Amino acid sequence: MEEKSCPVCDDLGWVLKENGVERCTCQYSDITENIFQRMNIPKRYRNKELSNFTPDDKAGHRLVLLRIEDYINSDRFKEGKGLFLVGPPGVGKTHLAVSILKEFFRRRGIVGLFYDTRSLLFKLKASFDGSASAREILEETVETPLLVLDDLGSERLSDWARDILHYIIINRYNELKPIIITSNVELKSRKIEGDVLENTLEERMGQAIASRLSEICEIIPVKGKDKRSSGLIAEEVGNEKGNR
Ligand SMILES: Nc1ncnc2c1ncn2[C@@H]1O[C@H](COP(=O)(O)OP(=O)(O)OP(=O)(O)O)[C@@H](O)[C@H]1O
Ligand SMILES: [Mg+2]
């Protein structure tokens, strides 16, 4: 059985009091290891925060951070609204997506779930021969109050992979459950200087998914320099303990 690190709140971060819900004292020492594992946040990204995302004014990062703050502080997620962070590699999309998950936990006590999309599909495929674990993983991705699908649409998908993502996205859409997506490809094709964009999510995953995602996700373009190649990455591994 999974060991709880806070016996007061069972690692929920919140406790029920007479006047409503209150933040548990364990939260003042920030997010526990156990919560990181439940949210499936990779070690490399555990110390990423909105506060240590250094905005590049030329790339419009201040507006990106404002839009993200506005989303976290609003109740739009309750109506199933999510975000679609789109931009080139290394500009901080995964950093921001993880920070959003962490803030939802801190401010609202919501334990979301992070998945790199390709790893999720691989994990499901590896355990799909009738075992219960694939079903459990799939149900978890449909049920979680906040799902991050990292790096969606990074490659052409097999029919099987498309069906799985279809299942997850359509079910969350129907149940008004929000999805935070990061992607290198635009959601829908649009004309840029006369040329029609290829390699869109619409083209890779089909119109049914792209149309639903464009309805439920606010698109936030993230621009800037590739921080990986510019060697500007600050200390990454802040937490060496356990991973899922
Ligand atoms: N503005 C920024 N401030 C601080 N760190 C940043 C910033 N942008 C990127 N980084 C860091 O650069 C690294 C790469 O960022 P990240 O993995 O979030 O990129 P990405 O946009 O998700 O790329 P990909 O599309 O390849 O997945 C991370 O360590 C991240 O914390
Ligand atoms: Mg990424």
The residue among 202 and 20 whose pLDDT is bigger is 202
pLDDT digits (tens, 9 = 90+) for 151-169: 999 878 899 999 999 999 9
Nearest residue (CA) to ligand 1, atom 18: 92
pLDDT digits (tens, 9 = 90+) for 91-114: 999 999 999 999 999 989 999 999
| CA 100 – CA 94 distance, rounded (Å) | 10
pLDDT of residue 240: 36
Instruction: Say if 6 falls within a structural domain.
Output: no
Q: Which residues are placed with Cβ below 5 angstroms of ligand 2, an ion?
A: 94
The count of domains in the chain is 1
pLDDT of residue 243: 37
User: Do the bridges between strand 113-116 and strand 147-150 make them parallel or antiparallel, or are there none, so unpaired?
Assistant: parallel
Q: State in Å, rounded, how far the first CA of the chain is from the last one.
A: 14
Of 116, 227, 232, the one to substitute when testing ligand 1's pocket (max ligand atoms within 8 A of C-beta) is 227
Which of helix, strand or coil describes residue 31?
A: coil
Each residue of 217-242: b (16+ CB within 10 Å) or e? bebbebebeebeeeeeeeeeeeeeee
Question: What average pLDDT is seen over the chain?
Answer: 87
The residue range of the domain holding 206 is 31-221
Task: Grade residue 194 by pLDDT with cuts at 50, 70 and 90.
Answer: low
Instruction: Say if 23 falls within a structural domain.
Output: no
**E strand spans, the chain:** 14-17, 20-23, 82-86, 113-116, 147-150, 179-183, 191-192, 195-196, 217-221
Nearest residue (CA) to ligand 1, atom 10: 92
Q: Residue 211 is part of a domain; what is its CATH number?
A: 3.40.50.300
pLDDT digits (tens, 9 = 90+) for 55-96: 999 999 999 999 999 999 999 999 999 999 999 999 999 999
